[in-house]
Structure formats: C-alpha cells, structure tokens
Amino acid sequence: DTEVTQTPKHLVMGMTNKKSLKCEQHMGHRAMYWYKQKAKKPPELMFVYSYEKLSINESVPSRFSPECPNSSLLNLHLHALQPEDSALYLCASSHPTDRVYYGYTFGSGTRLTVV
Amino acid sequence: GQQVMQIPQYQHVQEGEDFTTYCNSSTTLSNIQWYKQRPGGHPVFLIQLVKSGEVKKQKRLTFQFGEAKKNSSLHITATQTTDVGTYFCAGGYTGGFKTIFGAGTRLFVKA
C-alpha cells in the first residue's frame, strides 16, 4: 500500500463548529505532516510528527490541534475557524531521518470551506 | 532564514517545445526534491537529488543539482499536454524535518 488516505475530501463548516480531518498511511513511514495550501501557492508546513511525537509546530493558531494516535494515523482537530482558514489541507508521510530526506507521499487533501 | 526561490512563476509553451524551471536556495541544501501537482490535484513526488552535481533523468525529464548544492533545475524535453501542472522544488536542510517549498512554476502546454 503506497497511499496516504485523507477523509473527508470536502468539508464545509461554520465558524462555531468543531470538526476533524483524518489521515492514514500503511507504508511504515514514521514521519507525518500537515500542510495547508491556498490556491496558486505552495504547500505551507503546519505540523510535523516524528515517531508519534510532535517535533515541529510552525506557530499555527491554537484553533488547529493535531493528534497522532499511532504510527499510521494523523488527525487535525478544527475549532472556531475563520473564513481565511479555507484551503486545501494536505497530509503527507515519509521516512524520518535527520540526515537524508526522502520524498513525501501526499494524500489527496481535504478541501475545507469555512462559512 | 532559509528560503527557496523558484522561477519562472509560470510558462506557456507550444507542445513539443522544451521547458525549464529553476530553484535557488539562500543556504546550502542537504537535498532537493521535485514534485508535480496537476490542476485540482495534490503534489506527487518526482525525484530527490542528494549529491553535489548530481544529474538524474526520468524519460523526458532531467533534474540537476548544482555543485554548491544551492541550486537545481528541472528540464522537460518536447513537452506534452500531459505535462501541464505546477512543478515545485522543495529544499531539505540538515538538522531538521523541515522541507521548504519553492513557489512553484505553472506550466501551460498548448496543443
């Protein structure tokens, strides 16, 4: 299995809602990532988990809360989002090593609209 | 801070013409990766370059990593309509998990 599966594919939520994005991989990758991508922009790193521990938080607002329950799963909990948070949220995974990087396998993303 | 600059921002070509996109880092990279994102899709990993001066080929695509490990290029020979999309370089730096994406080059191919 060489895929990263993200659910849901589309999500519309109100500013007072609480929702979660889910990501799953079975490639044995021990690094998992959340990226945010706005239209016509590059992916922007939000969080990095390495061996199920949060290793990078790119100063993301607390209304985004990541969780890594095990080595295959990554969640992003959303609460009290703003319309400007509307974007494509991408999950990715890779082999973690601090010496040689490997390419990321991206999921197909969740297209989030905040109304 | 670490930055990866990518040019051009977009390029229109006639089918059959060649295409090149360039990336430049402000500091030395440990590696560079290249991704392709089709319209409406997600980034797909193409290749990773690690060694100084490295050149790799994938059919019509040629990837180069500069001698100083600060720049890289992707060259497509004889473009096809299936090459349409945005090509991103992403620079990896020693000592962390952070990979910095370039702004991307949008390729338009006219049949």
Closest CA of chain A from B45, distance in Å: 6
Per the prediction, chain B carries an average pLDDT of 95
pLDDT of residue B36: 98
A5-21: pLDDT as tens digits: 999 999 999 999 999 99
Out of A53-62, B14-23, B25-34, B87-96, the most confident range is: B14-23
What percent of chain A is predicted at pLDDT more than 70?
Answer: 93
Among B42, B46, B101, select the one facing A42 at the smallest CB separation.
B101
Q: Which pLDDT belongs to residue A97? A: 60
Which residue from A minimizes the CA distance to B86? A40
CB distance from A66 to chain B under 8 Å?
Answer: no
The rounded distance, in Å, linking the Cα atoms of A102 and A98 is 10
The pLDDT of residue A56 is: 87
Segment A51-69, tens digit of pLDDT: 999 998 989 999 999 999 9
How do residues B42-52 score in pLDDT, each as one tens digit?
Answer: 999 999 999 99
Average pLDDT, chain A: 92
Q: Is A100 on the interface with B (CB under 8 A)?
A: yes
Q: In sequence order, what are the residues at sequence separation of 6 or more whose Cβ sits closer than 8 angstroms to the Cβ of residue A97?
A: none
Output the pLDDT for position A99. 47
* Smallest CA–CA distance from A54 into chain B, residue: B97
Partners of residue A104 in chain B, C-beta under 8 Å: 33, 35, 43, 45, 99
Q: Does B72 touch chain A (CB under 8 A)?
A: no
pLDDT digits (tens, 9 = 90+) for B60-97: 999 999 999 999 999 999 999 999 999 999 998 876 66
DSSP, collapsed to helix, strand or coil, labels residue A55 as: strand
Which tokens belong to A11? 């999500």
- Give B50: exposed, middle or buried? Use CB within 10 Å, 0-12, 13-18, 19+: middle
Rounded-to-integer distance, Cα B92 and Cα A82, Å: 31
Q: Which residues of A touch B106 (CB under 8 A)?
A: 40
Residues of chain B with C-beta less than 8 angstroms from the C-beta of A107: 42
Alpha carbon distances (Å) from B89 to A50, A71, B22: 23, 27, 8
Task: Tell me the mean pLDDT in the region A37-51.
Answer: 94
Nearest CB to B48: which of A96, A102, A106?
A102
CB proximity B10 to A under 8 Å: no
What does the alpha-carbon distance between residue B111 and residue B97 come to, in Å, rounded to a whole number?
40
